[in-house]
Structure 1
């Protein structure tokens, strides 16, 4: 919500309280007021707010039931005040954070209007102020029914207005849809409850009301515990599902993609999520940062400014709330001072901390013990997943790359040339075979270590010259191969010539062990090219033809040249 809308909401709430409450007092003044009765009903309202529970994701507060009783006993003014007390208590126990503080005036205003509409509907249909009766028929059931219907309709209408105007959500006003089903059920159940509250009060006083309030609150507590257990089971199921996905991925980036895609949905109170890796303890690295508000301000990471350093050193989970969060400048800067609670968990692998997972929220005390247990499990899964993916990537790289030059190896080159040959969308591709001239003489004269340096130097220039246009591989020994998808014969010859010039024009550095100094030598290469499908329809044939062009057309013709297969 924008700052302007928040200010409008607060002003409207203050004006509503200042203008409507005195008017209600005049039109329907309090009645039947005694200190004990008012205190008893207030306690019931507070307990109702504290022990709310959820059903199918809907918050259940039996406020309408006791609201009717308060309305019939004390009048609309007291009912409105007690409803305000109930809503304030409920929101405080929901741990509304600074970023959601607008919910307090919004809900107070909404329920004030609900109280007014309900009372007006009651009186409009002939309802009268009662001073106490034991006759059900004397209560005017039709006005009581109107009391509940007006409350439901007003609540639905105001929620739609709030979502559209304040929260900019695309919603359509529907009085009867799946989301409103539970509201209707609750409204229907509140009618007999409200009447029962009233009659117990009129027959037995505040003790009679407590005879209903105590079992009602007890039932609310039981339902709350059942709901909490269900939420914990559901949360741990999501944790287990996420953990399986993290450990099954074979790419480090994909591991983080899964984590940052699913964790915010699992932890709806999370406004920030980030991971710091300590694979190099002296140089920890912030690898990914999530911010719910999608801000892009860059905040450079410093380990001394973040809680993760303490978590890494002590290998223990840390969770804190309140102003203490401002002790950590990184978290404070990322959130612009809005963080009110955080949960920072070590990522353990084989008894070692390899990283720290931190979740932060604008809400005070946002993370429960269940959250702590679940996120610790996620952090361990994350550590295992990262290690598995890293080891797989290392093994994959080792199996596909030449350990000396870091170019692709023969196996990978053959796999790619077969894929190109079978790709129907690839109309043409070319291959370049390369051999270092007089390489045996270089080895014999300068030693194999310098020979390896020459191989590395040629590979670096080959990689730099080709760029993203093709795939460079070490074919074996002093031979290299370049695959060029969507490159025809003429383009291939030009690229090969550019490679030849790059190698030939700049000298290579070698170390002269006898004189203990670096010397420069010039190295040349011979190249042969072939293009599919004109120069070969089979990968083996294409390689043979390019190799043949290199030896017959380049090596035997003086070396340091490019030859095309004819």
Structure 2
């Protein structure tokens, strides 16, 4: 739902509530009010909200049952207020995130309309404001049936309108569908329950109502436990299937691709990352997921993250609330929006080889069930990574830079030679680049932050170049981009795009003294060369691009692109 629609529905609820409240009071003022009776009914309303349960995927709140009793005893005004209060209590127990706060005014508006419509139907069909009675026939079964029928129809109609007009994108909804029969059955099962509440109150007062409420709450607790067991079984079955899929993959990249594709579909995940402790003294952040992609690179610092505690203890950590003081890294990558987190160890042969962390904007998004299931996923992930890593390790070592995960010099030279020897390739270009004042960065912020800058630059190169070429770390703070089928003009344009991508957005470094992240700006100097016009062999091509970088960019003020001439 868009921000504008959220504000409109909030204003609509406030106006509707403010306008309808005095009108309802005038039409049906409170009656039969005593402190004990009102307090008892209010407690029962709270219990119905706290001990809701699911049947066939539908949330069951015995609100309409107790709502009828409150309506018959106290009148529409009191029933309306108690219902609004009950819905607030229920929604607050559902772990609503800040992005879903619009659900509160939406539901309050819907149940306000339901209360007014059902009460109006009761009086329209001949129901009266009679004294408390034990004779059901005096109440009038037709008005009571009308109360429930109109409540159901109003609730369904408002839901259809919400799904069609308020949601982005709109959801197709029918007034009657396959689930409607089940909802009708639940609605009318509330009729005898509502009458039972009323008659017990008529016979024994507030004590009689509690005699109904206590076994009802006990039944709700039992149903919640049954639901929990069923959900746990279903979740563990899906976890087992997912784990088997992971172990069938023999590529580290594909293992992570599958993990980061499936996990957000299994649980509420706005942020997710994996830290490997293959080398305990040098933990490595290998992949990060953000549901709402951000541009800033946050270098990993183990002292600032929850994974260090999980690694040391070998136990999962689950929590809610602000992460700013406890885990600065998680707070930084979520822009202080994470409100719950779950971090689990990845166990292999009794050793923790990594830590997987999930985070959500929702408060209390992760339960005991989540923890059990994701611990199993973590173990499957550890096995899958070990299998894939053993399969790929020699190839990776021969082709990749271990720090930045870019291609290395050896792979780069093989790729350039291949282009020179391909008769179908008419033109290709190369970009040589060097980070400006990199020694000063190392001296000022330390070599660990210097490495973080190298990783950050590599990430921006990888993202900017994408599939247009091959990105390699040439050595030290130098990088190379090989661009097949690109002439000198296109190469210059790509180089300028790369320069801007590095220079315009700040990099984040970890300030150990103050235990926080700071932003610094970094620039690069670039030189370009094109084959075969500028060079007849790979060595000459690289030398010319390197010469252009130092003579035309570094010595001319840095943070610029120079062509070989």
Q: TM-score higher than 0.5 here?
A: yes
Partner of 1:214, secondary structure, is helix
Check if 1:76 corresponds to 2:76: yes
Q: Which residue of 2 aligns with 1:138?
A: 138
Q: Which residue of 1 aligns with 2:171?
A: 171
Check if 1:297 corresponds to 2:295: yes
* 1:336 Cα deviation from its structure 2 partner: 2.5
8 Å CA contact 1:305, 1:328 repeated in 2: yes
Residues 1:124 and 1:460: Cα distance change in structure 2 (over 3 Å): closer
TM-score by length of 2: 0.69
Q: Distance in 1 between matches of 2:188 and 2:261?
A: 40
Q: Distance in 2 between matches of 1:122 and 1:461?
A: 84
Q: Which residue of 2 aligns with 1:535?
A: none
Partner of 1:116, secondary structure, is helix
Q: How does 1:96-245 map to 2 (within 5 A)?
A: 96-245=96-245
Partner of 1:343, secondary structure, is strand
Residues 1:461 and 1:73: Cα distance change in structure 2 (over 3 Å): closer
Q: Which residue of 1 aligns with 2:37?
A: 37
* 1:79 Cα deviation from its structure 2 partner: 0.6
Residues 1:53 and 1:468: Cα distance change in structure 2 (over 3 Å): farther
Q: Distance in 2 between matches of 1:97 and 1:142?
A: 42
* 1:266 Cα deviation from its structure 2 partner: 1.5
Q: Which residue of 1 aligns with 2:389?
A: 390
Q: Distance in 1 between matches of 2:2 and 2:21?
A: 28
* 1:504 Cα deviation from its structure 2 partner: 11
8 Å CA contact 1:50, 1:93 repeated in 2: yes
Partner of 1:38, secondary structure, is helix
Residues 1:467 and 1:228: Cα distance change in structure 2 (over 3 Å): farther
Partner of 2:168, secondary structure, is coil
8 Å CA contact 1:325, 1:340 repeated in 2: no
Q: How does 1:458-477 map to 2 (within 5 A)?
A: 462-463=417-418, 465-466=420-421
8 Å CA contact 1:326, 1:337 repeated in 2: no
* 1:505 Cα deviation from its structure 2 partner: 8.7
* 1:368 Cα deviation from its structure 2 partner: 1.3
Q: Which residue of 2 aligns with 1:358?
A: 357
8 Å CA contact 2:322, 2:336 repeated in 1: no
Partner of 2:54, secondary structure, is strand
8 Å CA contact 1:10, 1:105 repeated in 2: yes
Query: What whole-Å deviation, never above 9, does each CA across 1:446-496 have from its counterpart, x for those lacking one?
Result: xxxxxxxxx9999676345357979xxxxxxxxxxxxxxxxxxxxxxxxxx
* 1:229 Cα deviation from its structure 2 partner: 0.6
* 1:188 Cα deviation from its structure 2 partner: 1.5
* 1:138 Cα deviation from its structure 2 partner: 1.7
Partner of 2:322, secondary structure, is helix
Residues 1:299 and 1:102: Cα distance change in structure 2 (over 3 Å): farther
Query: What whole-Å deviation, never above 9, does each CA across 1:413-448 have from its counterpart, x for those lacking one?
Result: xxxxxxxxxxxxxxxxxxxxxxxxxxxxxxxxxxxx
Residues 1:333 and 1:208: Cα distance change in structure 2 (over 3 Å): same
Q: Distance in 2 between matches of 1:251 and 1:112?
A: 55
8 Å CA contact 1:122, 1:144 repeated in 2: yes
Q: Which residue of 1 aligns with 2:28?
A: 28
Q: Name the count of aligned residue pairs.
A: 426
Partner of 1:363, secondary structure, is coil
Query: What whole-Å deviation, never above 9, does each CA across 1:76-107 have from its counterpart, x for those lacking one?
Result: 01111111121111112212222222222221
Partner of 1:217, secondary structure, is helix
Q: Which residue of 2 aligns with 1:86?
A: 86
8 Å CA contact 1:157, 1:173 repeated in 2: no
Partner of 2:30, secondary structure, is coil
Q: Which residue of 1 aligns with 2:518?
A: none
Query: What whole-Å deviation, never above 9, does each CA across 1:134-193 have from its counterpart, x for those lacking one?
Result: 222221211111111111111112122222333224333422212333321111201111
Unaligned runs of 5+ in 1: 407-454, 471-496, 507-566
Q: Distance in 1 between matches of 2:31 and 2:416?
A: 94
Q: Which has the larger radius of gyration?
A: 1
Q: Distance in 2 between matches of 1:459 and 1:85?
A: 71
8 Å CA contact 1:99, 1:338 repeated in 2: no
CA RMSD of aligned residues (A): 3.1
Q: Distance in 2 between matches of 1:229 and 1:171?
A: 31
Residues 1:324 and 1:390: Cα distance change in structure 2 (over 3 Å): closer
Q: Distance in 2 between matches of 1:281 and 1:317?
A: 18
TM-score by length of 1: 0.69
Q: Distance in 2 between matches of 1:503 and 1:96?
A: 59
Query: What whole-Å deviation, never above 9, does each CA across 1:48-93 have from its counterpart, x for those lacking one?
Result: 1111001122110010011111101110011111111211111122
Q: How does 1:545-556 map to 2 (within 5 A)?
A: none
8 Å CA contact 2:160, 2:175 repeated in 1: no
Query: What whole-Å deviation, never above 9, does each CA across 1:330-380 have from its counterpart, x for those lacking one?
Result: 322332322111111122222333222111112222211221121111111
Q: Could you list the runs of 4 or more consecutive aligned residues of structure 1 that deviate by over 6 angstroms after TM superposition?
A: 455-458, 467-470, 503-506
Query: What whole-Å deviation, never above 9, does each CA across 1:124-143 have from its counterpart, x for those lacking one?
Result: 22211121222222212111
Q: Distance in 2 between matches of 1:93 and 1:364?
A: 10
Partner of 1:178, secondary structure, is coil
